[in-house]
Structure 1
Amino acid sequence: MAPVPHAKISIPPLPPEFVVRTALRAALDAGVTTDVTLVCAPAGYGKTLLLADWSRSSTAADTAWVSLYRDDNDPRRLWASIVAALAACPSVPPTSRLHDRWIWRADAQPEFLAELVDAVEAVPRPIRLILDDVHELVDPEAQHGVQILTQNHPAGMQLVLSSRLDPPLSLPRLRLAGRLRELRAAQLRLSLAETGSLLEKSGLRLMPAQVALLHQRTGGWAAGLRLAAFGVANSADRDGFLTQFSGDERSVADYLVGEVLSDLPEDVQEFLRVISISDPVPTGLAAELSGREDAGSVLNGLDHRTSLLSPIGQRRDAYIVHELLRTHLLADLRRQGLKRAAELHGVAARWWASRPEPVHALDHAAQSHDSKLLTDLLHRFAVPLILAGDHQPLRRALARAGAQAVATDPWLALTSAVAHLEAGELPAARGDLRRARQSWPADGPADLAVLRMVAEQLTTCVGEPVASSTSPALGVFDELPVEPELEALVRLSRGTARLERDDRAGARAEFEAALLLSRSHGFDYLTMQCLALLGAVAGTTGDMQTMRTMSIEAAAAAVEHGWECSAWSGTATAMLAYAALLRTETAEAERLATEGLAVGGATSPSQLRFALQAVRGAAAFDRGDRAGGLAELQQARSEFGDLPASPEQVAALAMLEFHAALLLGHSAAARTVLGWLASRTGENGELLMMRAWADATSSRGEHARSLLRPVLEGAVTALLPQSLVEAWLLETSLAVTAGERPAARRALQSALAIAEPLDALRPFTHAGPGIRELLVHQHGSFGASDAFAERALAAGAGNRTRQALLSERELTVLGLLPSLLSLDEIAVDLTVSVNTVKSHVRSIYTKLGVSSRRLAVLSAHEHGLLSGGVRPDALSEVVTGRIIQH
């Protein structure tokens, strides 16, 4: 046998930038229990370096390494190398037959292999034989010899094969027998963290976003990353290089051509070029683009041959081409002529449109340079894409269609208007609407009229009123369209129009019907819109539970689809923030309002920014930053000015600012808010409430009560249900001041009854001490509202630090003070002396800063010390017994 170069049977050295793959080392160690380990992946995935590192780190066996080349297809050279590698293992004794002179004869191959097996089995230590680059063996005789070795290899030898392709070694049989361990491209891809380590060891210190970009572009392909690192290191403009890095970069292209594509037949290379225009590539589209009926078989073969294509989906009927390979192929295709690439894009657009897959269809049509095809597809798919929330594909297609086409085609103008509205670009949307009116056909189709109606109503919602004479009337759509997407849009428009006319029941019915359609047909964006609108309707009718439920669902849908910046998501967030404010969840209200302002930014509609900023100001006021909170409320109203908004929204936010101003003694600021509300809404219950508040503050109680009377009796309607809670609480306070305790109790009962279903605790936090004292004394007499009354006492309890000053026994005694038990009876129940109880009571009075039992109970409620209940449950039966005895 011919002599073997030492380098051929030596473990290759590791480069300085090598990244240790601990998980893959462990996977290879686990392969010891199998007969054969196969490491199979395309060129550049680091197979050789992985095995070299593992060979050095794993000392459980000696390593016999053979690097295979094309000339190893001569069996004499192949087996000479294998024998030499085995003989070079440290554990092979000098007397081993492996050191003998071996002679290969083709007619004696079985005998040769049998003797080799016997010689290896006699070695006292396990050996792993690594055959690197097995794909180089194409000669049937050489392949057959390796196959025999896999089937009959020595018991003390693990066979490890590294290859770019699956070797012809009956792999299915080995898998079935549990004798095969496999590592493939998916496992060999570098993770994001490993990518960062490789780049850093290559001398590059990139930003995390740059590392992530390279990882995404290369798919964790080690060779691609090394080539990218080389290019970045030698580029004066790193950001520019990273942005443009693709498979057409010179070093990458050379590698792909030399190591991947050159091994493929020319017809297969051409097949890859034509399918490169699509990502992903369904087998049906591949057949359409290439004209090959066997496209599915070709794709499947390429997946197994190169691993640079990956099947997706359970049916494995579509493929993704590795991005660097795809961009290289696409650039190569364009070099053959832009016309051909455009024609292929046209084929792809029509194929996707027939499925129908509008996003892919429009993207390809935009690259086909066929303006008629693009316009036709925009007419066909605009409404479904709007309902699904796929606004970016619409914007890309409109940009490719051009400004002239948008200006002269009402379909495109209206589609552009809706896309601009959803992005918060109101001036651009106004221009589109103006162009749509100018180019409006005399007898346009119904779906075009629906689209116009929706676009104009959305524009109205964000502050641009539309003259009714220019907008299609709702009566045009008395007969609902058959198409579900058009029916859903008509329902949405009807609901919006009815909401503007204050027909809330009708609006709710239309929104519910639109929601049902949107959920049935996957109109995800419309689903979010309907949920937000249903939440708004519920809030204006006092159904706070439904408002919260709908708003939470709308916000969740926005997060799921990445629509947090949408005005509809912002609307849901604003309603949730306001509901949290009413429930006295101040921190949550402030958090939601701040997040809503941060996400929406300057592109949010003015009404939405006003609402969020006002809620945040009120929350800041409630948590103690009273001056800062009032300042933010005033700023929100000042910035909003005279822009349109619903009377309910104006009233809700005006009430927040007015009450804050009064509590701080800023009567002039309060009058300003009062005048602003009057100019925006006309006469209503909230205006009378504000005037009554102002009179009460100025000690004009009787006049204040006369102003309240029409609101309480229903002669003047309040815009908001929670305003009635404020009205009854003010009546309670005025009645207490006037010494009319029965009237005060009745008013408080009415306030609790209205507040409970609204979960409106906030009005009680700003109520005066007379109301809190009445809540304490009337505890247990509110019937069904008792539990809510206890929450109302606990709400806004404020400073709870006094609880730490009271001992555990003092807290126990404090819990019994609201009961009818005397101090003697408390002593008996606690099994202590009455003097001990008296000592605890005196300490409680001192720590709470009070002088009587009644004031101690009131103070305890105000500081949250009795928020869990007036009497401990364990003593309730004893207390009941004492009451019966009395």
Structure 2
Amino acid sequence: MQPDFLPGAPALRTRSRRLLVRQALLDRLAGPEPGQRRCIVLRAPPGFGKTSLLLTWQRQLVAAEIDIAWVRLADIEGGDLQFMAALMAALAGIDSAIPRAAVVHARPDADAIERLVIALVRGVAAHGRRIVLIVDDAHRAESGNVLNALQLLVEYAPSNLLCVFAGRDHLPVTMAHAPVSKSVLELRNEDLRFTLAESLDYLRMRLPCIDERAAAAIHLLTEGWPALLRLAGAEVRRRRGTPSPLLHGRPDPEPFAAYFRAHVFPRLSVTQRRLLTLCAATARFSAALCADLAGEGYTAPLCAELLEPMVREGLLTALPHRMAGERWWQLHPLARAVLLLDFGAWPEAEQRKVHVSAWQSLTLRGMHHEDVRHALAAGDTDAAGRLAERGALTLFLQGRMSEVISLVRQLDPATLCTNPNLRLWMGWVELAEYRLDDCAGTVARLRAEASRLEPAMRYRLTLLDCLLAIRSDDNDAVSRLLPELLEAPPEADDFALAGRRNVLSWLYLHRGEFDEARRIQRDEPPPMIGGEPIVGTLFGALVGQCLIGLSYAVEGHMQRAERIYRNVLREAHERGARCAEAARLTAQLLVEVLYEQHGPIVAARFIQDQLGTHDGLIPDTTLRMIIVSNRAQQAAGRLREALAHLGQAAGFLQRYRMDRALACVLFERLRVELACNDVDAARASFQELDALHARHPDEDPRTLRQIGDVLARARIVLAVHDGELPFALAKIEALRERYEQRGQVNLVVSLLLHAAEVERRLGRGGASAARVRAALRLGHRLGLMQTLLSAHDNALALIRTVATEPQLDPVLVFYAERIEALARSLRDETAAPPPTTRFPEDRSVTRLLTLREAEIAELLLQSLPNKKIALTLGLSLDTVKWHLKNIYLKLDAHGRDAVAERMRHELARDGRK
């Protein structure tokens, strides 16, 4: 029986220490069939768990009755003879016969080492049983004779001997005579890092109550470095009642400083240590930036030569994408935290000099967040303000609004207050975050001191005011601003003129001036900034095309709208992350087309999979997604769930004072309450709608989707329910005439079917059929189907009756059959709708993602590969890749690491809350 304590092994009993069983690595160590592997090399910096791994492997080897000899060079004092003596003693611990011949042949001459090795390998071969020889701390093998002995042991090893070398540095032992490549296994620090699953198991072993999310945060901070993981666990356990910042992903340097300074930094040269300390001041760096920080005498090639070895040490990670044509690195987060302590101890003047060099260098590379941060750290708030203005404009025009937000937020309130241009940018940030009251306050204050603004900035303020009115669903306010918007001053910059084009289109289509809305996009010059076309942002040409599609959709021409939406979506995806806003708006607008052609359940699934939430980029899309999701519940007979959803939607719309959308939701609620035979509740909803209308007595009669129109439709529905049929028919005719005058012919289709039902109840069958035929002709021309089905409960029966008429146009007969097929698909038991989407209070990173995308992003945070993500979520690999593409687009991320970084910041932000 092999004893627990082996000659030369670390002086501890293995059963007294709980070691994590890293089965995947143990399987790799076990390797191919016995005799095929000649050598294993474990090479990694200190603290990567080389000895711990070998100790756990020792248990398996002992259980398999494999003999082990362990030589630890760190314990050997003296020279070559002491090493050979230790080697022979370790083998003698297995079988005293193994080194017997070596003792006989020990003579002090030039061939002594080779003679001893040959004698030992003969003894090993004669022993017969498998032997694993472990040489720990192999980097201590500095003597030529010792290295020669190790080389010969590998070259001359019989089939029953496996040599294992564990050390920190490259071991100058070649495997030139190894028969096949599988005979050598080399594991480096990247192989020895803990995976997320191993980190979770390790931390739970020492902290049984740790939350999985907190454990994942610690794994990210330590990057799977075993010694750091052990120190992190000890720190969390030490604090007990006081939560450690490590649990929230914040790199507290205190528990790790002693380890880095004792075991890691001494392995660096003085120059390397200084360069790392300089680079710790930056979040990421290139060789050229490092040279700029280091100053005279340093070049980019020299810095690259000095930095590259530190990747192997585990201190640096090469970022996957080149930026500004350069290769970039980032420091290990905990090493950086410790180095920042050292940097903070430098004289303040020297620190400021570094920050000045950093922001000047980063500005040349277009890295806007970093240059502002360093300008602030250098104490130059004026420079920080100028850089923030320039960066905000650049990022906004690239469609990277989330980065504009984080950029402006770096500035302190005093800097914002003294700079009206920056306050204007703060207004854009507030608008993007749906902080509409804050934005309105910013606009009001800036208008009160408009004389301080240059004419170009005043026109930008007009544009912001218009967009605030659009986001607030205040068409009347936009109409009041129209003259100011049309009178662009000569000094108006390209930024404002680009936005003006799309705002005017939106305004005209909501006034029913569809041709004018389309003319602006067709005839006016395309938006340009500095001679470059603007494509994917809210001011860009793609959003302009979306508005053309929306103008057709509001008219009711769904087929035209769909063609435009599909083309825009294709181009936006081809162009990538910079067209994220255009892609998201187009997908939101496409919901209505899917609803018409495939029904509410298909459209609701699209909302869940592609969009995630109901808060659209404009009020139109918000309302469409709410109604579509709700009608999916209604189609499945889940009326109570539909009512609960509408109640939440009403609260959401009230919070943002989107009264016109709220009116439509109240009308939808009234219809569902009548379907539930809750007449009292329906009348209460009508009273709420009437009170809402009373708050808007001066609606512009040219504006579409007026609250008064929604109230009129609610009055019609109640009148039909109460049997007041002539009154209902008169109201239908009046409203139909109003819609036709405005060009909202899609709404006429629904009114025609309402009129047909009233005529039927009045006993006028011929008039009812004529109304249905008119609805079918108009609906077919516009490409509508679900609108006809959802007009009222008896609409399908009316269509069926007319479809049997022998003289009916075959085109309309086929159209009626398609409507019937859509109705059958909604009755299909397998066509269950997805759960209604939540109405979030926050504007966090995950708000931008669908529920499925958020799950995948969290798994990226755990460093899982695509195949493991697919297995975990029960998805195909192609589906995971498709979702990843959408995640990169929505978060403006350029790879898995960038997504993980965004999610890590989210964890830290949640922890601060």
TM-score bucket of the superposed structures, by smaller chain: 0.7 to 0.9
CA distance, structure 1, for counterparts of residue 793 and residue 581 of structure 2: 32
| SS of equivalent residue, structure 1 residue 232 | helix
CA distance, structure 2, for counterparts of residue 715 and residue 154 of structure 1: 94
Structure 2 alignment gaps of length 5 or more:
831-913
CA distance, structure 1, for counterparts of residue 727 and residue 657 of structure 2: 33
| SS of equivalent residue, structure 1 residue 49 | helix
Q: Does 1:310 align with 2:317?
A: yes
Q: 1:650 to 1:276 in 2, by over 3 A?
A: closer
Q: Give yes or no for contact 2:405–2:429 (8 Å, CA) kept in 1.
A: yes
| SS of equivalent residue, structure 2 residue 372 | helix
Partner of 2:163: 159
CA distance, structure 2, for counterparts of residue 156 and residue 645 of structure 1: 79
Structure 2 residue corresponding to 1:455, chosen from 459, 464, 483: 464
Deviation for aligned residue 1:228: 1.3
CA distance, structure 1, for counterparts of residue 180 and residue 498 of structure 2: 54
Q: Does 1:347 align with 2:351?
A: no
Letter in 1 for 2:364: S
Q: Does 1:86 align with 2:95?
A: no
Letter in 2 for 1:8: G
Partner of 2:785: 759
Q: Give yes or no for contact 1:731–1:747 (8 Å, CA) kept in 2.
A: yes
Q: Does 1:8 align with 2:25?
A: no
| SS of equivalent residue, structure 1 residue 209 | helix
Deviations 1:529-551 (A, max 9, x none): 66875664453132445767888
Q: Does 1:124 align with 2:128?
A: yes
Partner of 1:784: 811
Moved more, 491-500 or 517-526: 517-526
Deviations 1:717-769 (A, max 9, x none): 36644322212213433454566555544432322233341232433552268
Structure 2 residue corresponding to 1:142, chosen from 142, 146, 152: 146
| SS of equivalent residue, structure 1 residue 717 | helix
CA distance, structure 2, for counterparts of residue 522 and residue 172 of structure 1: 59
Partner of 2:53: 50
Q: 1:366 to 1:169 in 2, by over 3 A?
A: farther
Deviation for aligned residue 1:211: 0.6
Deviation for aligned residue 1:277: 1.7
Q: Give yes or no for contact 2:463–2:485 (8 Å, CA) kept in 1.
A: no
Q: Give yes or no for contact 1:462–1:606 (8 Å, CA) kept in 2.
A: yes
Partner of 2:900: none
Partner of 1:18: 19
Moved more, 365-374 or 169-178: 169-178
Partner of 1:357: 367
CA distance, structure 1, for counterparts of residue 181 and residue 72 of structure 2: 28
Partner of 1:298: 306
Moved more, 56-65 or 673-682: 673-682
Q: Give yes or no for contact 2:719–2:725 (8 Å, CA) kept in 1.
A: yes
Structure 1 alignment gaps of length 5 or more:
804-886
Deviation for aligned residue 1:378: 1.0
Superposed CA RMSD? 5.0
Deviation for aligned residue 1:399: 4.3
Partner of 1:252: 256
Deviation for aligned residue 1:416: 0.9
CA distance, structure 1, for counterparts of residue 776 and residue 716 of structure 2: 20
Deviations 1:428-457 (A, max 9, x none): 2233323434555667374x4564344222
Structure 1 residue corresponding to 2:771, chosen from 740, 744, 747: 747
| SS of equivalent residue, structure 2 residue 164 | strand
Moved more, 210-219 or 139-148: 139-148
Deviation for aligned residue 1:792: 3.1
Structure 2 residue corresponding to 1:329, chosen from 316, 331, 339: 339
CA distance, structure 1, for counterparts of residue 19 and residue 354 of structure 2: 42
CA distance, structure 2, for counterparts of residue 172 and residue 363 of structure 1: 53
Q: Give yes or no for contact 1:127–1:158 (8 Å, CA) kept in 2.
A: yes
Deviations 1:504-526 (A, max 9, x none): 45545767997999998785676
Of the two, which has the highest radius of gyration? 1
Deviation for aligned residue 1:358: 1.9
Alignment of 1:144-293 (within 5 A): 144-170=148-174, 179-242=183-246, 249-291=253-295, 292-293=298-299
Q: Does 1:406 align with 2:416?
A: yes
Q: Give yes or no for contact 2:536–2:543 (8 Å, CA) kept in 1.
A: no
Deviations 1:161-215 (A, max 9, x none): 2121222335899899665322122221112221121122224421112111111
| SS of equivalent residue, structure 2 residue 790 | helix
Deviation for aligned residue 1:781: 4.1
Q: Does 1:771 align with 2:771?
A: no
CA distance, structure 1, for counterparts of residue 429 and residue 378 of structure 2: 22
| SS of equivalent residue, structure 1 residue 39 | strand
Partner of 1:476: 488
Q: 1:19 to 1:433 in 2, by over 3 A?
A: same
CA distance, structure 1, for counterparts of residue 372 and residue 505 of structure 2: 31
Q: Give yes or no for contact 2:235–2:244 (8 Å, CA) kept in 1.
A: no
Q: Give yes or no for contact 2:552–2:558 (8 Å, CA) kept in 1.
A: yes
Partner of 2:839: none
Moved more, 163-172 or 95-104: 95-104
Partner of 2:553: 539
Structure 2 residue corresponding to 1:431, chosen from 441, 449, 453: 441
Q: Give yes or no for contact 1:410–1:435 (8 Å, CA) kept in 2.
A: no
Q: TM-score, normalised by structure 2?
A: 0.73
| SS of equivalent residue, structure 1 residue 336 | coil
Q: Give yes or no for contact 1:39–1:182 (8 Å, CA) kept in 2.
A: yes
Q: Higher RCO, 1 or 2 (CA under 8 Å, sep at least 6)?
A: 2
CA distance, structure 2, for counterparts of residue 801 and residue 247 of structure 1: 54
Q: Give yes or no for contact 2:555–2:743 (8 Å, CA) kept in 1.
A: no
Q: TM-score, normalised by structure 1?
A: 0.75
Q: 1:531 to 1:193 in 2, by over 3 A?
A: farther
Q: 1:181 to 1:78 in 2, by over 3 A?
A: same
Q: 1:397 to 1:556 in 2, by over 3 A?
A: same
Letter in 1 for 2:485: A
CA distance, structure 2, for counterparts of residue 779 and residue 166 of structure 1: 90
Deviation for aligned residue 1:365: 3.1
Alignment of 1:21-36 (within 5 A): 21-30=22-31, 33-36=36-39
Partner of 2:748: 724
Q: 1:638 to 1:164 in 2, by over 3 A?
A: closer
Aligned length: 790
Partner of 2:873: none
Partner of 2:80: 75
| SS of equivalent residue, structure 1 residue 319 | strand
Moved more, 20-29 or 121-130: 121-130
CA distance, structure 2, for counterparts of residue 802 and residue 593 of structure 1: 21
| SS of equivalent residue, structure 1 residue 476 | coil
| SS of equivalent residue, structure 2 residue 239 | coil
CA distance, structure 1, for counterparts of residue 748 and residue 129 of structure 2: 90
Deviations 1:247-269 (A, max 9, x none): 76444211111111122222221
Moved more, 100-109 or 606-615: 606-615
Q: Give yes or no for contact 1:62–1:126 (8 Å, CA) kept in 2.
A: yes
Deviation for aligned residue 1:296: 0.3
CA distance, structure 1, for counterparts of residue 828 and residue 430 of structure 2: 52
CA distance, structure 2, for counterparts of residue 41 and residue 522 of structure 1: 49
Q: Give yes or no for contact 1:408–1:435 (8 Å, CA) kept in 2.
A: no
Q: Give yes or no for contact 2:601–2:826 (8 Å, CA) kept in 1.
A: no
Q: 1:165 to 1:489 in 2, by over 3 A?
A: farther
Moved more, 337-346 or 206-215: 337-346
CA distance, structure 1, for counterparts of residue 18 and residue 203 of structure 2: 8
Alignment of 1:59-74 (within 5 A): 59=64, 61-69=66-74, 71=76, 74=79
CA distance, structure 2, for counterparts of residue 13 and residue 569 of structure 1: 62
Alignment of 1:379-394 (within 5 A): 379-388=389-398, 390-391=400-401, 393-394=403-404
Q: Give yes or no for contact 1:63–1:128 (8 Å, CA) kept in 2.
A: yes
CA distance, structure 2, for counterparts of residue 478 and residue 350 of structure 1: 33
Q: Give yes or no for contact 1:35–1:150 (8 Å, CA) kept in 2.
A: yes
